[in-house]
Structure 1
Amino acid sequence: MASKGKTVFSEEKNPRGIPKAPFIADVEEYLGGKDGEAEPALKSFQEAIAKYRYMETSLTQRRANLEEKIPDIKKTLDMVEYMQERREGKGKTEDDLEDDLDEDTEEDGLKKPLKTTFELNDTLYAEAELEETDTVYLWLGANVMLSYKIPAAVTLLQSKLRVAETSLNNTIEDLEFLREQLTIMEVNTARVYNWDVKRRREKREQEASKK
């Protein structure tokens, strides 16, 4: 497969469609013989490396966003599940509930509002009381907030968490794959460059011996 300045990618791809870099085992054969031109091949390798670097940068940013997003989803899910368990009276045995009666209920038998704090800004928090409710409001991004019944909110958050964790695992796998392809292309570049230097030196020596 002689290169004529075209980008060099194998038809083989990883599960997300990132092409595999071919390893050039025989440089002379790849270039089309002893008189093959190395410059177009080196240029195509640099183009391939640049594309891999671009994908690596994009995936690195995606990984950072997911690693920041997943803990937020988990915290939100934990809170909504707690509200669901509290509403349904789960998470504690009957004996535990009797022990906590004075702490968690008022004199008329109703549950006390749940006291908590919520974030207003990076360093600013406010105290709030959560009354008994079957509805929560979730931020969906892009300044959009929707109300959900608690069971629906739990289902949604669990789905979003699974999707985010799968995406993170795929992103990490793709980054490892990209680094392998970058190494292969860098090795290809070095092999073609060294082959060309050696060929030029041998050609000069042959010309000098004829004089």
Structure 2
Amino acid sequence: MATSQPSVSSRGIPKALFIEDVEDFISKQASADEALKKMQENYSKFKLMEMSLSKSKTALKSKIPEIKNTLVIVQHLQSKKGSSETVNTQFELSDNVYATASITPSVVCLWLGANVMVEYSFEEAVDLLTKNLESAEKNLKGLDEDIGFLKEQITTTEVNIARVYNHDVKQRRKKRDTAEQ
């Protein structure tokens, strides 16, 4: 039965093929135990990938609100630019130590990470934050798709393992019953 699913996801996750004819599949392997061992390895890899993608998704989901909040703040500061009105704010000096300041906005400094801060004009900062937000939302959507694809592969692998195991049990019972007669 043909499907329209790709053989790999956008992140290169291989597709688990459903075993239509278990007996034929096992006959092409060294043994049922060997086939089960390979499928268990693939299952473990899929679970590891799922865990990794879930961690990435969690991290990205926490970054998106931060980017949105920063964008709102920069836009607020931009609206105050050029006026004589000051903006009262608090900023962090160190862990749990804050200072209050009154500023007249003219530029904005953004943390890029790795203890790096860069000064931007308001327009550049808004552009950068907008691009970062779009990129983060696009990556989150891709992660959701990959996790969904991966869950399908995990389910297919679990079904294959169960079918091969059950077939092996039936074959062993047949051999045992034949030997007893």
TM-score scaled by length of structure 1: 0.77
Q: Match of 2:10?
A: 15
What amino acid sits opposite 2:129 in the alignment? L
**Aligned partners of 2:30 and 2:20: how far apart in 1?**
16
Cα deviation for residue 124 of structure 1 reads: 4.1
Cα deviation for residue 68 of structure 1 reads: 1.2
Helix, strand or coil at the partner of 2:119: strand
CA RMSD, Structure 1 to Structure 2 (Å): 2.1
1:26-78 CA distances to partner (integer Å, 9 max, x unpaired)?
10011127x96101110000110111111111111111111111111111111
**Aligned partners of 1:126 and 1:65: how far apart in 2?**
29
Using the aligned pairs only, state the percent identity. Answer: 45
Structure 2 residues not aligned, in runs of 5+: 1-5
What amino acid sits opposite 1:128 in the alignment? A
Distance 1:121 1:60, change over 3 A: farther
- 1:148 matched to 2:120? The reply is yes
- 1:159 matched to 2:131? The reply is yes
Cα deviation for residue 85 of structure 1 reads: 2.2
Structure 1 residues not aligned, in runs of 5+: 1-10, 89-109
Match of 2:147 among 143, 164, 175: 175
**Aligned partners of 2:73 and 2:92: how far apart in 1?**
14
For this pair of structures, how many residues does the alignment match? 177
Q: Match of 1:96?
A: none
**Aligned partners of 1:42 and 1:63: how far apart in 2?**
31
- 1:112 matched to 2:79? The reply is no
Helix, strand or coil at the partner of 2:170: helix
Structure 1 outlier segments of 4+, above 6 Å: none
Does the 8 Å CA contact 2:81/2:104 hold for their aligned counterparts? no
